[in-house]
Structure 1
Amino acid sequence: MHKIGRQTIRFPNPPSISNTASIVGPKEAEGPLKIYFDKVETDDTCGETSYEKAEECICYTAIQMLLQKEKLQATDIDYYLGGDLLNQIISTSFTAQKIAIPFFGLYNACATFSEGMQLAACLVSGQFAKNVIVSSSSHFSSAERQYRSPLESGVQRKMTAQWTVTGSGAIVISDQQKSPYITHITTGIVQDYGVKEADNMGTAMAPAAVETIIAHFNDTGFQPKDYDLIITGDLGTIGKEISMDLLSREGFDVSNIFTDCGVEIFNEEQDTHARGSGAGCSAVVFSGYIYKKLRNKELNRVLFVPTGALLSPTTTLQGDSIPCIAHAVTIENEPQLGRG
């Protein structure tokens, strides 16, 4: 039994993240992480007739770039796991149709990427697969139209609102013996503290991030000092500060190593209010920035904790609160298998 504690799995044969690919839109390329992305779309429609088709295009492009990097054919991939924010995860499903790889469609909102990483790691470590692709995507314009209001209506955004990232990240998780490795995963439990504002998701998601991080520490015996970086998925500036405060109250000082993908992808001058969000946010930040830092040995051990707000337009209109989830993945260059 490789499960430790209630929520964590330790892999005795850690699967490898053998490569990544990332593609972003023009606004994301204006931010501080531009040099880490593989491709920038200068036109956020990607030459398509709708924003939904544009999101499908970036999802498909990320996977094609990934296959080219690894010199793999679609037939070399055992499974494709992915999802997005749109109804019935259409960006990913239409991509799956094109690439013709056995497909598991996933939905955990902005935590979909880490959900895919966890399941792919189980498939590879359990010797059910040799190569698994994981991806997720989002698009500012398609998400705004679905969850809030059409851009043409010119609705003023609250300062607590975040900016949905236009982008897609994709990775190959494999049985190759090369760093970095996925050594632990901690699967979150849905949290709901009664927040109902769809434009204040950082506040809604912070308790889920904190629950998962504390569960990870309790299950593994790790402490903040054991990590070079702890990075959540897209809490934005507000959710990040709430999470740091809640963790501090529980005795975990993460102030020197804690940040958030949504905070990192945009800068203050870009006027995105509480910074970034979206299923593509953590995907492109990991596939670009974090992975390259790991490969260059600038980071050795990272706790990657994407967060998801599990709302829908229906639940928002009916006045429901927002249940949230967070999934943690430990990525290491030099696994210390005796710990945890």
Structure 2
Amino acid sequence: MEQTLNFRRKPYILSGYSIGGEKEGNGPLHEWFDFCLDDDTYGENTWEKAESKMLKTSITECIRRADKDTDDIGAMLSGDLLNQLMSSSFMARDLRIPFLGIYGACSTMTESLMLGAVLTDGKYSDNVVIGASSHYCTAERQFRMPLEHGNQRPPSAQWTATAAGAMLLSGESGIEETFADKEGKIHNMKKVRIESGTIGKVIDAGVKDANQMGSAMAPAAVDTLLNHLQDTGRDLKYYDAVFTGDLGYIGKKIVADLLSDSGIDKDQIERIYDDCGTMIYEPRQDVHSGGSGCGCSASVFAGYVYKKMKRGEINRALIISTGALLSTISPFQGESIPGIAHAISLETE
């Protein structure tokens, strides 16, 4: 059975907004963030409140950029890594927009995009705003050790991004926008549309080490990507770029190897494929195996990828957020770490 949804109306992404923390702002994508924190507390007295504020800022600024008001939004879909979706739920409490909380671990961004596209494509809602966030300090406290503990991280561990991203979907094309190139010439920005989405299956590779997230999620990313290509009858080269969510250096290499084993040309993989977890930080920042967290792919997709597409530097992109579906107690019960990945196909006009 096909896993891919083909959207007849091809919903538009009217706007995007991305926030990075202090560490992310010092990384290679700093110019692609709309806003970077000087202090990861963001003026709040707890890390959790700071994360919720980041998400709220992303959502509200995304709405404002689309020349909309909160009353124009029919639904808001958002998620994070915290228990009871604390960041999203408390953000939604303030905005008073009809809200659906989404949990897909680090796959939340593309899961939200897909469900938001279903709502707009089916004309259930004219405008849907989606978002996701994570914070290094909140994730460490919930899933690993309190920062005060100062525990050592193995080389395979990834760094949860302090970041948030939001996008506004609509059945309408929105306002015309322009940008200036390096020479000062003015160009019309392109429109970005959601062409299709592939729902992922839970894939369990048997990995039990919570410091090997990339290894746990990589098989799910490959399964979703191959099913997307099969459902659509496309080759990988159909896309200008393919991005996975936050597999990091280890997971990215596993994906490349598995795709090569499936018959896809290695040079093609190297030319087209990248991972948000390897893009968001530089090796000098000592993040070991790269970035992770809901906010990792959310901020890269809403910032770097979306802006590249608006400028016509990428015309067809496949974005695949990946999630590790463990809980705070499942590793202690001897469970392995199931993975999930959802794909969204974007195109410009």
Q: Work out the CA distance in 1 between the residues paired with 2:237 and 2:60.
A: 38
Q: Does 1:71 align with 2:64?
A: no
Q: Work out the CA distance in 1 between the residues paired with 2:60 and 2:111.
A: 21
> How much has 1:177 moved relative to structure 2?
2.9
Q: What residue is the counterpart of 2:233 in the other structure?
A: 221
Alignment of 1:198-213 (within 5 A): 198-213=210-225
Q: Work out the CA distance in 2 between the residues paired with 1:326 and 1:106.
A: 14
Q: Work out the CA distance in 1 between the residues paired with 2:196 and 2:270.
A: 22
Aligned residue for 1:169, secondary structure, equals strand
> How much has 1:251 moved relative to structure 2?
1.0
Q: Does 1:141 align with 2:152?
A: no
Structure 2 counterpart of 1:192, which letter?
A: D
Give 2:110's match in structure 1, choosing from 105, 114, 122. Answer: 114
Superposition CA RMSD, Å: 0.9
> How much has 1:256 moved relative to structure 2?
1.2
Q: Work out the CA distance in 2 between the residues paired with 1:333 and 1:165.
A: 28
Q: What residue is the counterpart of 2:320 in the other structure?
A: 305
Q: What residue is the counterpart of 1:338 in the other structure?
A: none
Aligned residue for 2:76, secondary structure, equals strand
Q: Does 1:234 align with 2:246?
A: yes
Give 1:177's match in structure 2, choosing from 154, 173, 178. Answer: 173
Q: What residue is the counterpart of 1:47 in the other structure?
A: 43
Q: What residue is the counterpart of 1:319 in the other structure?
A: 334
- 1:29-74 deviations in Å (ceiling 9; x for gaps): 0110000111111010111111111111101111121122122111
> How much has 1:76 moved relative to structure 2?
0.4
Aligned residue for 1:306, secondary structure, equals strand
- 1:116-145 deviations in Å (ceiling 9; x for gaps): 000000110111111000000000000011
Q: Does 1:252 align with 2:259?
A: no
Q: Is the 8 A contact 2:104 2:111 kept in 1?
A: yes
Aligned residue for 1:273, secondary structure, equals coil
Q: Does 1:19 align with 2:37?
A: no
Q: What residue is the counterpart of 2:184 in the other structure?
A: none
Structure 1 counterpart of 2:345, which letter?
A: T
Q: What residue is the counterpart of 2:185 in the other structure?
A: none
> What TM-score comes out, normalization by structure 2 length?
0.93
Structure 2 counterpart of 1:279, which letter?
A: C
Give 1:98's match in structure 2, choosing from 87, 94, 116. Answer: 94
Q: Does 1:281 align with 2:296?
A: yes
> How much has 1:274 moved relative to structure 2?
0.5
- 1:60-116 deviations in Å (ceiling 9; x for gaps): 111121122122111100000010000010000000110000010000000001000
Q: Is the 8 A contact 2:197 2:345 kept in 1?
A: yes
Alignment of 1:188-203 (within 5 A): 188-203=200-215
- 1:181-212 deviations in Å (ceiling 9; x for gaps): 00010000000011011111000000000000
Q: What residue is the counterpart of 1:337 in the other structure?
A: none
Q: What residue is the counterpart of 1:333 in the other structure?
A: 348
Q: Work out the CA distance in 2 between the residues paired with 1:59 and 1:225.
A: 34
Q: Work out the CA distance in 2 between the residues paired with 1:68 and 1:188.
A: 32
Q: Work out the CA distance in 2 between the residues paired with 1:199 and 1:91.
A: 24
Aligned residue for 1:256, secondary structure, equals helix
Q: Following TM superposition, where does structure 1 have runs of at least 4 consecutive aligned residues deviating by more than 3 angstroms?
A: none
Q: Work out the CA distance in 1 between the residues paired with 2:125 and 2:11.
A: 10
Give 2:122's match in structure 1, choosing from 104, 107, 126. Answer: 126
Q: Work out the CA distance in 2 between the residues paired with 1:201 and 1:157.
A: 13
Structure 1 counterpart of 2:100, which letter?
A: F
Q: What residue is the counterpart of 2:186 in the other structure?
A: none
